[in-house]
Amino acid sequence: MKLLLSVLCFAAAALLPAAGNGGLIGKSPVVRQALKLSFVDTGFAPTGESRGFRFEPSAGGTIVFSWKNDHPAWMEGRFRRAVRLPDEDEMEFRLAVDVPDAGFAATFALRFRDALGESFQLPGVALERGRAGRRELVFRFDASGKLEHWGGDGRIDRPLELSGLSMAFAPDTAGGSVTFDSIVCPSAGGVLDGIDVRLAAGDDLFLLSEQSPGPVLTLVNRAVAETEFTVALTATDFRGKKLFEETRGLVLASGESAALPVADPAELLGVRILDCELSAPAAAVPIRRRFFYGRMIPAGPGRPGNPEFLFGIHDHTAVGDCELRAKAAALCGAKVIRGAGLSWGMIQQLPDRWNFKESDEIVRIYERYGLEMMMILAFTPPWCIASPRQPVYPGETQRDFLLPDLAAYENYARVMAERYRGKIRLFETWNEPDISFANFSVENYLKLQAAGRRGVKAANPDAIVMNGGIALMTPSPGKETIQRDIMASVGTGCDWYAVHGHGPFPEYVNTVAKVLELRREFGSRAVWHSNETAMSAAGGMEKEQAETLFKKLLYAWKNGAAGYNWYDLVN
């Protein structure tokens, strides 16, 4: 039970907003302050054709931009940390770059985005040949001047944000590099707007172990002037109990940083909510930021699971962030991941074109963390929609919800089971076939389910094949009998009976009661699995969500379920 409670605390933390972003709660009055941002601070990222170049963070927050080919045409990028600008008609910006080659020449232009999403670009400023080293380019914004624009009518709708830049190469440019150093720009915020606040707590999931030192709050002055201010910290636990508070005064010069160790009580396990308030004499209204982190006992990986009850988590993932998400699920104690963001059309793009690159990598990552994938065999690629089309819901426009060619579906199921034999043993034929995810009849779903099971069993007789998890245990329009028909098919059309059950715990109790009633009606000893069940955290419902997660888990276990998948890892 101690382990179970530690998982509960961890799961609650996993479902909270990302801890590194420090949500803004208040704002200061307009007391003009210029900001000096390194390119790493801006979150600069290439866009469009620029993705063929190399962008590498370097010392001091700079970004080294390099290219191998001769005669590149242009580069463009965006600032993921867009800076809101004051409502002024004339503004000045300074871009610092470092050029290693005195013969390099290019034209740079800054870009802006207005309140309606329209983009504007200043006239370019040329960097002339003749001198290597650090160079500063000055841009002057004049709202009355002519600005290149796209995505609107050319009228600036305030507020305006600094959103990116472009760079046009000289025609004779050879391979080389440029280092983007920093940009100085006006800010619409007050004197506190230039203070960047970040929390470091344990690892990249903001988790501390019992032995870990406390978190560290780092404050950096991005303004061009010295700033004097006060930092007030208050930490509470998941239930709102105050754990500690402290206040400190700081004076930071431009570019200076301060690291403040947070006095976290190591003997207390659980989720922390850290509120940080910045105030200053020149700012009548403080700025508040909130961070989340946890101090917990990991429930995995490396700890054995319960073979009689599979605890899993549904996740929508991709290779780019799969490693971090798999780590989070494993620390929660999960042994199964359902979903994985893979669809039939991603893997079999045409009848003779297969792409296993992403699925192979995801399976490898899951194996490293002791996780097995529950593979959903869905949805219909454009090339194999069955003819004639017979939708149950004519108003549903998504083609991948239509019935596929059943021979192609059986082949897809066989190929996947064969490729991942020994790695994936849990398969699911479609998702929520009782509603519009399956825009075809109950009769056709039962045929699809049987085809999928035949394909899987032909390649791996030991695999477990579930029906597409049923969304609701109440009759669905046009599919009133599907819950009963699937229960009747257990043993021939599927091996386990899969059911979902989103929403509050009392509704889940009713769902389970109807599953057990169907089993009794058919005299069935069918294994059932609660393979997707959720409770939203929207509207500040994190505590209720955490409680519901474990109430449902324990109730499913008590009533003989083979397992339980929480929906989902990030909510």
Give the rounded percent of residues in the chain with a pLDDT score beyond 90: 69
Which among 216, 84, 47 has a CA at the least distance from the CA of 159? 84
DSSP 452: H
Q: Assess whether pLDDT exceeds 70 at residue 45.
A: yes
Q: Assess whether pLDDT exceeds 90 at residue 541.
A: no
Q: Assess whether pLDDT exceeds 80 at residue 154.
A: yes
Q: Assess whether pLDDT exceeds 60 at residue 31.
A: no
231-258 average pLDDT score: 94
Q: Assess whether pLDDT exceeds 80 at residue 23.
A: no
* Three-state SS annotation for 490-509: ECCCECEEEECCCCCHHHHH
**319 or 135, which is more confident:** 135
DSSP 315: E
Q: Which of 14-18, 347-351, 509-513 has the lowest mean pLDDT?
A: 14-18
3-class DSSP state for residue 128?
coil
Q: How many CB atoms lie within 10 A of CB 512?
A: 21
**Counting Cβ atoms within 10 Å, is residue 382 exposed (0-12), middle (13-18) or buried (19+)?**
exposed
Distance of alpha carbon 208 from alpha carbon 211, whole angstroms = 8
Q: What are the backbone angles phi and psi of residue 408, rounded to the nearest 5°?
A: -65, -40
472-485 average pLDDT score: 94
As given in the structure block, the two tokens for residue 92 are 């000045």
Enclosing H/E stretch for 250 = strand 242-252
Q: What are the backbone angles phi and psi of residue 321, rounded to the nearest 5°?
A: -120, 15
Q: Assess whether pLDDT exceeds 50 at residue 22.
A: no
**27 or 333, which is more confident:** 333
Q: What are the backbone angles phi and psi of residue 559, rounded to the nearest 5°?
A: -100, 25
Distance of alpha carbon 104 from alpha carbon 368, whole angstroms = 47
3-class DSSP state for residue 226?
coil
Tens digits of residue pLDDT in 91-106:
999 999 999 999 999 9
**Counting Cβ atoms within 10 Å, is residue 381 exposed (0-12), middle (13-18) or buried (19+)?**
buried
Q: Assess whether pLDDT exceeds 70 at residue 500.
A: yes
Dihedral sign of CA atoms 377, 380, 385, 388 in order:
positive
Res 159: pLDDT: 87
Banded pLDDT at 321 (limits 50, 70, 90): confident
Instruction: Tell me the CA end-to-end span of the chain in Å, nearest whole number.
Output: 26
